[in-house]
C-alpha cells in the first residue's frame, strides 16, 4: 500500500499537468464530509465544484445507480432508453421548456446551445455570417468548437464557417449589450449568476432587457445554468427567480450529482432548429447517467431541497454578513441561495489552502473571492462549523 504522498507523486508523474492540485487524495465521502486516504475528515463546502448537491451516499441515489448497473449501462442514441425519457420529462416539467438533449458535460451543453442559435439564425436567411454576444468575465467551458476540427462537410452543414465568433459586453450593462448588437448577432449567452467570474448575480432589469432585445431581433437568449441551476440559488432554475425565460438553457454540474452529465434544453421557439443529423453523441443520455438525473429530480422533490436551500441559504447569508462586519478586508459579499462569495482585498489562495489543512474544503472564484457552493443538504450546524473554522483561518492569516 502506497501512502497518500506516494500517490500524489504518481499523480504528478502520470497525469497531464493542467492543474495545480491541493495536496490531498480524497478517498470517500459521507454526507457533507470528505475523507482522505489517511482517514482525516473534512467539511465540504465545495461539493466537487457545485456538483454533489445531495451529499455523499444518499441511499436512494446510490441504490438507483446500482440498480441501473444491474440492468444496462449503455445502449447509444440509435435506440430509446427509459431513464433518458423519464429524466427528460422531469426537466421539461420543472422548467416549462420543450425538449432536452443530454450531453456528458457542461461544455458540451454549451456547444449544443450555441449550435441551436446558429442554426436558428441560418434557417431564417441562410446567412453563414453570425456572431454571439457573450459577457465579460463569463465562463462557459473549455472546448473551442469541436466542429472546427471535424473534417466532414456533412457535420458542418448549416454551421460553416466553424469556430465560434463572439463579441463581449459587460455583464449587467444592457446599454453595452445593445451597442454590440449587429445584423450578424445570432444569440446572447450569459450565466444567470456568474460563477467562476466571481459570484455576480444578474440584475433583474438586465435579464428582462436581454429578453426584450432577443425578442425584438428574433435571436436566441441562452442561459448558462450549469452552475447556478439545479436548485443552487433557491429555485430549480435560477432564471425563475427573475421571471425571465431563455430560449435555450444549459445544465450540468448538479444535474447528475456526481455522474458526468449535462443537457441543453430548448424552449418552444428554438426546438425545431436542430434536426436529425445536426447533432449527436455516443454517450450523451446514456441509461446510467440519466438514471442518476431522474433520481436526482425525485429526491429534490421528496427531500424538499429547494425549500431547504432557501432557508439555509438565508442563514449562510446572515453568517457571512456577520463575518464581513468583523473583517474590514472582506470588501464584498454576494450571491443567491447556496451560491455565495466573499471578496477580499487580498488573494485568497493561502486562506483556501489553510482551511483545507484545518479540515474545511472551500474554493476560490478568481484570485480574491472565496466561493461557497456546498452540498444543498447542508445544515445550519454545518454552516456554523464552517464559519468557526474560516474565522480562525482568517485571523491566523493575519486578516483584519
247 binds ligand PLP (CB under 6 A): no
Give the C-alpha separation, 175 to 209, whole Å: 9
226 binds ligand PLP (CB under 6 A): yes
Among 237, 260, 313, CA closest to 45: 313
Candidates 220-228, 294-302, 357-365, 379-387; binding stretch for ligand PLP (CB under 6 A)? 220-228
Q: Please say which residue, 265 or 399, places its beta carbon nearer to ligand PLP.
A: 265
DSSP summary character for residue 304 = T
103 binds ligand PLP (CB under 6 A): no
* Residues 222, 133 contacting (CB under 8 angstroms): no
Among 204, 180, 183, CA closest to 192: 204
Least Cβ distance, residue 51 to ligand PLP (angstroms): 9
Give the C-alpha separation, 390 to 249, whole Å: 35
Give the C-alpha separation, 47 to 386, whole Å: 14
Q: Which residues have C-beta within 8 Å of that of residue 338, sequence separation ≥ 6? A: 232, 233, 234, 309, 312, 313, 316, 372, 373, 374, 376, 378
389 binds ligand PLP (CB under 6 A): no
254 binds ligand PLP (CB under 6 A): no
Considering only residues 81, 107, 286, 368, which one is a binding residue for ligand PLP as defined by CB under 6 A? Answer: 107
Considering only residues 37, 252, 306, 348, which one is a binding residue for ligand PLP as defined by CB under 6 A? Answer: 252
Q: Helix (H, G, I), strand (E, B), or coil: what is residue 68?
A: helix
Least Cβ distance, residue 197 to ligand PLP (angstroms): 9
Considering only residues 81, 227, 294, 368, which one is a binding residue for ligand PLP as defined by CB under 6 A? Answer: 227
Give the C-alpha separation, 241 to 37, whole Å: 41
Cis peptide bond upstream of 161, omega within 30 = yes
Give the C-alpha separation, 192 to 246, whole Å: 10
Candidates 137-145, 178-186, 215-223, 379-387; binding stretch for ligand PLP (CB under 6 A)? 137-145
> What are residue 159's phi and psi, to 5 degrees?
-130, 0
* Residues 223, 192 contacting (CB under 8 angstroms): yes
Q: Please say which residue, 95 or 227, places its beta carbon nearer to ligand PLP.
A: 227
Q: Please say which residue, 259 or 383, places its beta carbon nearer to ligand PLP.
A: 259
Considering only residues 115, 119, 140, 334, which one is a binding residue for ligand PLP as defined by CB under 6 A? Answer: 140
Residues near ligand PLP (CB under 6 A), total? 16
Q: Please say which residue, 36 or 196, places its beta carbon nearer to ligand PLP.
A: 196
Least Cβ distance, residue 173 to ligand PLP (angstroms): 19
Candidates 3-11, 136-144, 209-217, 268-276; binding stretch for ligand PLP (CB under 6 A)? 136-144
- How remote is the C-alpha of 299 from its chain's centroid? 19
340 binds ligand PLP (CB under 6 A): no
Measured from the Cβ of residue 129, the count of other Cβ atoms closer than 10 Å reads 13
191 binds ligand PLP (CB under 6 A): yes
106 binds ligand PLP (CB under 6 A): yes
Candidates 89-97, 102-110, 214-222, 365-373; binding stretch for ligand PLP (CB under 6 A)? 102-110
Candidates 165-173, 179-187, 190-198, 296-304; binding stretch for ligand PLP (CB under 6 A)? 190-198
Among 242, 231, 262, CA closest to 192: 242
Among 188, 111, 112, CA closest to 142: 111
Taking the alpha carbons of 191, 192, 196, 200 in that order, is the dihedral positive or negative?
A: positive
Least Cβ distance, residue 11 to ligand PLP (angstroms): 20
Among 350, 344, 356, 343, CA closest to 386: 356
Binding site for ligand PLP (CB under 6 A): 105-107, 110, 139-141, 191, 195-196, 224, 226-227, 252-253, 262
Amino acid at each position: 500500500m502506497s501512502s497518500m504522498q506516494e500517490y500524489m507523486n504518481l499523480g504528478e508523474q502520470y497525469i497531464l499537468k493542467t492543474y495545480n492540485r491541493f495536496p490531498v487524495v480524497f478517498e470517500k465521502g459521507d454526507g457533507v464530509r470528505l475523507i482522505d486516504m489517511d482517514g482525516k475528515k473534512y467539511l465540504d463546502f465545495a461539493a466537487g465544484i457545485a456538483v454533489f448537491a445531495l451529499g455523499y451516499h444518499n441511499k436512494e441515489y446510490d441504490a438507483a445507480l446500482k440498480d441501473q448497473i444491474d440492468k444496462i449501462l449503455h445502449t447509444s442514441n440509435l435506440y430509446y432508453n427509459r431513464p433518458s425519457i423519464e429524466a427528460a420529462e422531469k426537466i421539461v416539467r420543472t422548467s416549462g421548456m420543450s425538449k432536452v438533449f443530454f450531453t456528458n458535460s457542461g461544455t458540451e451543453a454549451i456547444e449544443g446551445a450555441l449550435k441551436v442559435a446558429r442554426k436558428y439564425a441560418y434557417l431564417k436567411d441562410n446567412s453563414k455570417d453570425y456572431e454571439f454576444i457573450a459577457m465579460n468575465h463569463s465562463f462557459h467551458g473549455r472546448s473551442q468548437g469541436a466542429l472546427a476540427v471535424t473534417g466532414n462537410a456533412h457535420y458542418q452543414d448549416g454551421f460553416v464557417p466553424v469556430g465560434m465568433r463572439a463579441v463581449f459586453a459587460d455583464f449587467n450593462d444592457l446599454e453595452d449589450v445593445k451597442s454590440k448588437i449587429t445584423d450578424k448577432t445570432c444569440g446572447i449567452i450569459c450565466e444567470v449568476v456568474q460563477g467562476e467570474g466571481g459570484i455576480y448575480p444578474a440584475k433583474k432589469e438586465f435579464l428582462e432587457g436581454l429578453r426584450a432585445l432577443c425578442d425584438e431581433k428574433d435571436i436566441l437568449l441562452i442561459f448558462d445554468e450549469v452552475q447556478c441551476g439545479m436548485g443552487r440559488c433557491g429555485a430549480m432554475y435560477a432564471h425563475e427567480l427573475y421571471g425571465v425565460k431563455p430560449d435555450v438553457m444549459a445544465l450540468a454540474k448538479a444535474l447528475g450529482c456526481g455522474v458526468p452529465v449535462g443537457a441543453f434544453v430548448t424552449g418552444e421557439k428554438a426546438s425545431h432548429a436542430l434536426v436529425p443529423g445536426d447533432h449527436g453523441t455516443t454517450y450523451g443520455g446514456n441509461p446510467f447517467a440519466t438514471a442518476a438525473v431522474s433520481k436526482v429530480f425525485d429526491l429534490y422533490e421528496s427531500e424538499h431541497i429547494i425549500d431547504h436551500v432557501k432557508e439555509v441559504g438565508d442563514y449562510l447569508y446572515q453568517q457571512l454578513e456577520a463575518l464581513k462586519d468583523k473583517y474590514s478586508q472582506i470588501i464584498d459579499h454576494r450571491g443567491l441561495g447556496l451560491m455565495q462569495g466573499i471578496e477580499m482585498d487580498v488573494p485568497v489562495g493561502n486562506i483556501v489552502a489553510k482551511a483545507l489543512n484545518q479540515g474545511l474544503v472551500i474554493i476560490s472564484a478568481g484570485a480574491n473571492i472565496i466561493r461557497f457552493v456546498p452540498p444543498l443538504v447542508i445544515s445550519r450546524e454545518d454552516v456554523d462549523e464552517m464559519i468557526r473554522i474560516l474565522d480562525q483561518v482568517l485571523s491566523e492569516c493575519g486578516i483584519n
